[in-house]
Amino acid sequence: MSDHYDVILVGTGFASSFFLLRYLEHAPASCRILVLERGNEDTKAWQLKNQLHTSINPDSIVENDTPAKEWFTSPGFGGNSKCWMGGTTRMMPGDFKLKSRYGVGMDWPMSYDDLEGHYGTVEEVMLVSGPAVTPMPRSRPLPLVPHRFSDPDVLLHQHFPEGWFPMSTARASVYTGKRGICCASGCCGLCPIDAKFTIQNGLADLYKDPRVTLKLRSEVQTVETSGGIATAVNSLREHREVRETADLIVLGASALFNPHILLRSGFKHPLIGRRLHEQMPVYVTLDLKGVKGYTGSTVLSGLGYLFYEGEHRADHAACMMETWSSPFAYRAEDALRIERGRWNERMILGFLFDDLPSERNYVAVSTSDPSRARVHFEDYSDYAKKAADRIPQMIDKLSEALPIERIVGTSLGSTAAHIQGTVVMGDDPETSVVDRYLIHHEYRNLLVLGASAYPSASPAYPTLTLSALSLWAADHIIGSRNA
């Protein structure tokens, strides 16, 4: 059989899998799709046995200049779906229009309405749990009933009915037939009961389709171009160099490795790898009087939108708040209150601020070992820090609803576990690498999927949006082909 395919897809995480989901719905029986995955199969049984979500040490493929700022990555079948926590918030309409509404950052080249239907599809595939009423408009309800609020969430919702909501999450609230109910332990990185949606438990069948050939242990090194199109993918497979050609090449290797592959391939756009960003996460531990924390039915039980949308975004970042209902895995040092009878009169709140992307934070190719991505992060923007400086005022506002006794501690998280920017999308080839359909401006048969395309951050968790973008991109490719 020849080494030419209709499509070569790089990566098996959310971005690639949702693209494949939609693409296969319309692809003819004769279609040949090659999927290249750098890692191993890393089944759930393997993960639990080894207490790891990947058999490849992430440090062996990422060189981090600033280790205080962590970037999580999980090579292997299913990609970062293996280790994600299952947060599935949609972005707010204003997130797409940051420049035109508030004069800061960049606008996205599409609107919330453009993605609304795709958001709904992804929520149905992931069987997302959440409330009937959400702060953003929606055309269809979430598939699963919401998780139970913690006791502090109940008070916040009663006082701020328009500002406090149950979590939208792909951690199941009811048995789905495949996935158990979230046990709120906070061991989401491995999720021993498979309560959260993963590619392995939700979309693995795509890769068994007869049109699809999955090659594990295939480290993509370069994408070849010739005559204005992308022609081939070169990879290292089982220590052997392999060259495969295709009519359509789709990178879905994460915001660390999409730019890494493009840079290794000699792509020259000055923004490739630049504008690496994620939310700035600050965690605050509060002591409460007579109110018991950690009583929700899932690890993160509440979402606060009190300081999200509004004119303040012209001056400082938006904030999405999250209630930690299981602190033990991540915030173990001050989880409990060591006071007789008041053990859990405590709550931990996460404050996620959108950061303005900066070119001084970037991904490059390691000079000592080109197979590794080098990550350099100097700091968050003043825009985000200015908002974080307002946390004391935000807590004052929350104290209208909560009997807050004192602030126990505040800390900046080492990561929000999101990776965004680095192959930015837009309408102008001067200021973006890919267009609104995630197609490379110059090489029109090359797509670069995932959160690498994000022109600006949002306080929202990125996975739902990047998955919706993959459906949007696939629809465009299918529509163009049919036309």
Distance CA(272)–CA(472), nearest Å, equals: 22
**Which residues in the 282-311 window bind other proteins by CB under 8 A?**
282, 292-297
Contacts of 290 (CB under 8 A, 6+ apart): 345, 403
What is the number of alpha carbons within 13 Å of residue 302 lying toward its C-beta? Answer: 32
For 458, residues 6+ apart whose C-beta sits below 8 A from its C-beta are 91, 92, 95, 279, 318, 354, 465
Q: Of 40, 64, 121, 371, which one interacts with other proteins (CB under 8 A)?
A: 64
Cα–Cα distance for residue pair 188/180, rounded to 1 Å: 13
Chain centre to alpha carbon of residue 32: 28
Q: Quote the least distance from Cβ 376 to other proteins, whole Å.
A: 12
User: In the set 22, 82, 90, 147, which binds other proteins (CB under 8 A)?
Assistant: 147
Q: Is 280 in the site for other proteins (CB under 8 A)?
A: yes
Helix (H, G, I), strand (E, B) or coil at 384: helix
Candidate list 66, 158, 431, 480; residue touching other proteins; CB under 8 A? 66
Closer residue to other proteins, CB minimum distance, 184 or 253:
184
Residues 347-386 that bind other proteins (CB under 8 A): 377-380, 385
**Helix orientation angle between 14-26 and 112-126, rounded to the nearest 10 degrees:** 90
Measured distance CA(372)–CA(157) in Å, rounded: 46
Q: Which is nearer to other proteins, 64 or 201 (CB)?
A: 64
CB of 365 to other proteins, least distance (A): 19
Q: In the set 22, 32, 69, 82, which binds other proteins (CB under 8 A)? A: 69
Shortest Å, Cβ 145 to other proteins: 6
Interface with other proteins (CB under 8 A), residue from 139, 205, 341, 368:
341
**Cβ atoms of residues 65 and 377 within 8 Å:** yes
| Per CB under 8 A, 192 contacts other proteins | yes
Instruction: Give the N- to C-terminal CA distance of the chain in Å, as an integer.
Output: 30
User: What is the contact mask toward other proteins in residues 321 to 340, using x (rule: CB under 8 A)?
Assistant: ----xx-xx--xxxxx-x-x
Return the residue of 24, 31, 104, 190 that touches other proteins, per CB under 8 A.
Answer: 190
Q: Is 148 in the site for other proteins (CB under 8 A)?
A: yes
Near other proteins in 209-228, by CB under 8 A:
none
CA dist 17 and 13 (Å) reads 6
Q: What is the DSSP string of 47-104?
A: HHHHT-S-SS-GGGTEEES-TTS------STTGGGGT---B-PPPPGGGGGHHHHHSS
Q: Which residues bind other proteins (CB under 8 A)?
A: 51, 59, 64, 66-69, 145-148, 173-174, 181, 183-187, 189-190, 192-193, 280, 282, 292-297, 325-326, 328-329, 332-336, 338, 340-341, 343-344, 377-380, 385, 388, 406-412
